[in-house]
Structure 1
């Protein structure tokens, strides 16, 4: 069986390579960063290399820091490649953005008020400091006196309040009203329009404020939102000056956004490029570069752009690793990413009025035995080894290995086992009644699933076809939605709209820094695209962020139970965990992808001659 699967992949890749050669002048349509991978070429001394705390056999060992230790140019320029096969959306506000490309654009000119350490826990090393009360329910922030917006206005406590007023607003339609927002005392009443104020947020002075939470939760330390919004710049929803819709469409966040980060936005070519200029008044000091040029490069052309020196830094698609590692003027960095890829099953809909997910037992994927079988049918090991050179490896649970204290390494998930898949389908009553090689459902009706997947990169089409063949091998007929892959923006627009044509889909999640999964799988989570809900899920997610969860052993047990529940119910089937690869030109200095490094912050990045 393994040989058969490998031959299928080889055949698909060969066919695709011929197609790409014939279309060498064109970029592929759409994708997010689903395959960014890079490593360092040659750094043999292990004592010089910091490793991510994961299975060292999963992939080659890569450094986290560039090796160049030269003297930076005083007024250098760095060109940053944003690898995407579609334009970035351009919603450049932490309150409203939804996709990873926009986050990359934001990271150069704006940032959180609180710093974070290598374990993604908040620190007092940022633009603001904090104190947590003894009962763990109130956090008090003080913003530094030298922290100013790019237009010279000071960053005020009311600007951070404004973020919460936006995220909790009754008319907010974004994706970031999650547990850490709702847990603020008085937020539910504000969100329902019952009050104009959030009782748990107190403004002490222009630079000091406090947040009181309904529940003490360890997520305060890893998921507290401290991204301020410049009220004076974007306009004030609270006074009726603008509406939320006005802000989302406004040039104030799409053409001339401001932040208080190391670089100012000087010019935006929508969807294509951004020119940043040094923020001479940056609160940490003088940034290492005079200018940064961010430009979109396709996954098909990123290696050539790196090779020619047209860009100095970019993520690299993992499937291009063998070519990337031999580019002489760059070095490769990598770590296990805060992300995973998965197959999602459409189990219901999003109720926009109630703002919660509703399961629908009439959906084709409502039988969990069928979902379990489809996970067992997927040969993720072959995908990781043959298409990604070991830089992706089979996923087992929905809490990633980066969160070593909470990932249940003892839970095997549902490994590749086609015979087990067939047995589960038999148990569910899904059998081939007409001899065509495909199973009918338990009512004897035709069972054909519609599969939505994203385009982008050389592996997107082969992987989709590979999984469809995996499912066909156990008797499940699967067809691509519209007979093709869809670009990143169109794909997620369909998921957000609960497109009823989609039975299953392939997506990818960046998890963020908080191990709490409620923002993706909670009853009221708008990112819960499978629309999975259960009382047990509610109970475990609540327990994982409760005051008792300050006890790490208790929280680990809760999350082990939650991971087991997801392996049993399979609202989504995780496919692979992934290494995040990045290539840096050898003239780049002071750059690290290690969140615990002083050089992780982009204000330190610089270049030599």
Structure 2
């Protein structure tokens, strides 16, 4: 490790000297803060978002009703408080009265009702309507039963009632409304939901957030200016720039003072570079345990036996993957609930879980008539940790007679390819919302509703509606005992059905410039940012 670090330092030093780089921390402009992404966003439209990069590129402009605080709870944004009826079927949103849209128009209840109606429109193509499941007037997928049938009522200019067809827990109501980005009625009313994602509005969006859109270079950067009328107080940092920087270039950018924040999820210092990054003056580089995990999506039509899918899990040499992909800087993961999540149940993992046991796994495959002659395909993006996971997997499986072809694609192509069943497997990753979150994430990927229709992210092609039924029960659970029982049931299902398999959870490598103060690290790890509290220390 030390030899690698010394070599890396020498290489970067030579490049930096050649380019005439000045070794100072922070962006060149003292009034600009630059945050790194290692992947690009496809849209600044929250309705069209399909990945964290999309959401987080748009979030400086748009506020949601509620936001995760990174500590297991939430903080209020456009909603200053809420009430839940005694029967747990009506959520009353008490909206802030001091909010303006970026064009000066007042925000009010009309915007919230309009946005609910837009999200539920049958003509709108969006995965985000999943968060309308259970709202009266919508079907199982969140689509309106008839025009504007979604049961959301304006009580007065700053109060909205949301009606649910079944009792919902506070946690479930919060989870759905946390992802609900409110849009301006006065800008979008009358637009055709079928074409609204392509509307010119998204070239210069109007939101209520702490920053106002300034400009973008597609695939490279987006720049925002501080919103002087932001209801939580105008940000003290004049300009925010989100910039795409490839992982291998992050330490070079730090040395050149071209980046202020590497938050560990949207951009993370490669494990191979972390020891060196921690020696750089002007930055606090820290490795933090989080809730992220890489997981293995298996096409259940191809691998239609839970025994085969479990055998695959037992063929994963997680220790080698952690060493190769994370330089030892990670943990084994077995269920959607990360080890730090309070709902993770170690007893269930010990009872139903598995370890690396290739000999037994091969015997299980033979018993199920597995085709050892066929070459199976797995798609991944170009993230180093997933490349390492696949390389270890390919080498291990080859020793036991399994043939695996690795195909590297961008994430969106992986999703569309799995949707079209072009590949047998996919290795992806995700992060739990926070350490106490009930959101399984898993449910979205294996969802099938009572009518037999696949959810938009059921890329594993699971036909069994059991997970959806448990998820519905969990959403309606109103006591801690009931929540514990249902989260345990989900973990048992994961470790008996193996519709897809959790692999390893890399630790999160972050870096914050010394000149940037006020960053809430807990919130940062949930991919949320307290922008209005950031300050530049001269």
The answer as to 2:168 corresponding to 1:206 is no
1:565 to 477, 493, 502: 493
Q: Which residue in the other structure is 2:461 paired with?
A: 531
Q: Which residue in the other structure is 1:360 paired with?
A: none
Moved more, 516-525 or 144-153: 516-525
Q: How does 1:494-509 map to 2 (within 5 A)?
A: 494-495=417-418, 498-509=419-430
CA distance in 2, matches of 1:112, 1:152: 18
Q: Which residue in the other structure is 1:77 paired with?
A: 32
CA distance in 2, matches of 1:192, 1:227: 17
The answer as to 2:377 corresponding to 1:472 is no
Q: CA deviation at 1:377?
A: 0.6
1:249 to 198, 217, 237: 198
CA contact (8 A) 1:454 1:460 kept: yes
1:194 to 1:540, Cα distance in 2 relative to 1, 3 A: closer
Q: Which residue in the other structure is 1:300 paired with?
A: 248
Corresponding residue SS for 2:321: helix
1:535 to 1:250, Cα distance in 2 relative to 1, 3 A: closer
CA contact (8 A) 2:299 2:459 kept: yes
Q: CA deviation at 1:410?
A: 4.0
Q: Which residue in the other structure is 1:51 paired with?
A: none
The answer as to 2:103 corresponding to 1:151 is yes
Q: Which residue in the other structure is 1:488 paired with?
A: 411
Q: CA deviation at 1:398?
A: 1.8
Q: CA deviation at 1:391?
A: 2.8
Corresponding residue SS for 1:337: coil
The answer as to 2:356 corresponding to 1:426 is no
Q: CA deviation at 1:346?
A: 1.0
Corresponding residue SS for 1:259: coil
1:521 to 446, 454, 457: 446
Q: CA deviation at 1:323?
A: 2.7
Q: CA deviation at 1:245?
A: 4.1
Q: CA deviation at 1:345?
A: 0.7
Deviations 1:533-555 (A, max 9, x none): 32432332222222xx2111222
CA contact (8 A) 2:212 2:226 kept: yes
Q: CA deviation at 1:566?
A: 1.4
Q: Which residue in the other structure is 2:224 paired with?
A: 276
CA distance in 2, matches of 1:529, 1:115: 28
Q: CA deviation at 1:463?
A: 2.9
Q: Which residue in the other structure is 2:378 paired with?
A: 451
CA contact (8 A) 1:78 1:606 kept: no
Q: How does 1:40-55 map to 2 (within 5 A)?
A: none
The answer as to 2:112 corresponding to 1:182 is no
Corresponding residue SS for 1:411: helix
Moved more, 556-565 or 216-225: 216-225
Q: CA deviation at 1:600?
A: 5.1
Q: CA deviation at 1:389?
A: 3.1
CA contact (8 A) 1:594 1:600 kept: no
1:378 to 316, 325, 330: 316
CA distance in 2, matches of 1:381, 1:288: 45
1:248 to 1:555, Cα distance in 2 relative to 1, 3 A: same
Q: Which residue in the other structure is 2:475 paired with?
A: 545
Q: How does 1:165-176 map to 2 (within 5 A)?
A: 165-176=117-128
2:510 to 557, 562, 582: 582
Q: How does 1:283-294 map to 2 (within 5 A)?
A: 283-294=231-242
Deviations 1:175-222 (A, max 9, x none): 1222x4121111229966642223521111222111111122221133
Corresponding residue SS for 2:46: coil
**5+ long unaligned stretches in structure 2:** 17-24, 450-454
Higher RCO (CA < 8 A, seq sep 6+): 1
Q: Which residue in the other structure is 2:534 paired with?
A: 605
CA distance in 2, matches of 1:82, 1:406: 30
CA distance in 2, matches of 1:461, 1:390: 16
CA distance in 1, matches of 2:193, 2:142: 14
CA distance in 1, matches of 2:280, 2:116: 46
Corresponding residue SS for 2:47: coil
User: What TM-score does the superposition give when structure 2 sets the normalisation length?
Assistant: 0.85
CA contact (8 A) 2:92 2:159 kept: yes
The answer as to 2:296 corresponding to 1:343 is yes
CA distance in 2, matches of 1:221, 1:291: 31
Q: Which residue in the other structure is 2:20 paired with?
A: none
Q: CA deviation at 1:334?
A: 4.6
CA contact (8 A) 1:83 1:297 kept: yes
Q: Which residue in the other structure is 1:313 paired with?
A: 261
CA distance in 2, matches of 1:390, 1:223: 36
2:355 to 405, 415, 431: 415
1:402 to 1:318, Cα distance in 2 relative to 1, 3 A: farther
Task: Report how many aligned residue pairs link the two structures.
Answer: 496
Corresponding residue SS for 2:290: strand
CA distance in 2, matches of 1:408, 1:480: 33
CA contact (8 A) 2:125 2:194 kept: no
1:465 to 1:258, Cα distance in 2 relative to 1, 3 A: same
Alignment RMSD, CA only?
A: 2.9
Corresponding residue SS for 1:204: strand
Moved more, 193-202 or 100-109: 193-202
Q: Which residue in the other structure is 2:452 paired with?
A: none
Q: CA deviation at 1:170?
A: 1.1
Moved more, 447-456 or 534-543: 534-543
CA distance in 1, matches of 2:365, 2:104: 64
